[in-house]
């Protein structure tokens, strides 16, 4: 099985990343799905989505949880039945979870693609990044910013936040592999730590 990476964020928070290389039948081995999850799995049109869904159950197993421990609220945000915190992501051939005993958490994986250049103005003040002349570096930076905002959006867990107006990411250097971010909404500012890493043309960002 392809557990790709485990990151210990702090004493109570972990990130686990899975590289999807197995067949559906292989991924079904050793995993028990609830009736609801079985229905969801069977309704997925894409085999890659099915494999992603199953690989997340293996990641849960790695940290001592089962499919039955995972529940979703009315906004589609995942929760653990014991009240601890979780966030989930899937992009092409990678999935990841972040789990924490104490902290609200969010995680996002994105494939690095040049299409992000076309949508950048929708989620960040693009002028901030115009000094980056190298296109690959610009794609990399924008992908991190998008992932960071997506992670904070997942922490908030409701549908009203706008990436451009309500989520702010502090500028950063690639070498730092971390920054900070804020959700600024309804007169409240809440700050979070953000870390990021790149591998095989993908970017993983997590917030806590």
Mean pLDDT, rounded, for 56-85: 97
Which residue, chain included where needed, has tokens 């997340």?
56
Amino acid 178: pLDDT: 98
- 139: Cα separation from own chain's centroid: 18
Amino acid 129: pLDDT: 75
pLDDT at 172 > cutoff 70 = yes
pLDDT per residue over 72-128, tens digit each? 999 999 999 999 999 999 999 999 999 999 999 999 999 999 999 999 999 998 777
Mean pLDDT, rounded, for 32-38: 95
Q: What is the pTM of this model?
A: 0.95
How far apart are alpha carbons 173 and 148 in whole angstroms?
A: 14
Pairing of strands 13-19, 3-10: antiparallel
How far apart are alpha carbons 94 and 48 in whole angstroms?
A: 10
Backbone angles phi, psi at 103, to 5 degrees: -110, 145
Q: Is 202 helix (H, G, I), strand (E, B) or coil?
A: strand
Burial (CB count <10 Å: 0-12, 13-18, 19+), residue 106: buried
Amino acid 127: pLDDT: 76
Amino acid 85: pLDDT: 98
Amino acid 199: pLDDT: 98
Amino acid 1: pLDDT: 60
Domains of the chain and CATH, by start:
3-103 (3.90.470.20), 108-207 (3.90.470.20)
CA distances from 162 to 6, 111, 149, 159, 208 (A): 31, 22, 10, 9, 19
């Amino acid at each position: 099985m392809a557990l790709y990476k485990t990151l210990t964020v702090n004493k109570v928070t972990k990130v686990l990343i899975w590289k999807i290389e197995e067949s559906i039948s292989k991924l079904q081995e050793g995993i028990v799905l609830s009736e609801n999850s079985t229905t969801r799995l069977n309704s997925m049109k894409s085999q890659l989505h099915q494999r992603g869904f199953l690989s997340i159950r293996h990641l849960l197993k790695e940290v001592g949880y089962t499919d039955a421990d995972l529940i979703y609220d009315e906004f589609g945000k995942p929760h653990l039945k014991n009240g601890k915190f979780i966030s989930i992501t899937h992009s092409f051939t990678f999935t990841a979870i972040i789990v924490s005993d104490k902290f609200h958490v969010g995680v996002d994986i994105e494939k690095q693609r040049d299409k992000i250049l076309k949508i950048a103005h929708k989620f960040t003040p693009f002028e901030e990044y115009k000094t980056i002349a190298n296109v690959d570096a610009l794609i990399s930076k924008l992908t991190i910013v998008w992932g960071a905002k997506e992670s904070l959006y997942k922490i908030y867990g409701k549908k009203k936040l706008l990436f451009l107006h309500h989520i702010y990411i502090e500028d950063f250097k690639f070498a730092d592999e971390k920054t900070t971010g804020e959700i600024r909404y309804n007169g409240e500012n809440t700050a979070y730590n953000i870390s990021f890493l790149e591998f095989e043309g993908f970017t993983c960002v997590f917030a806590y």
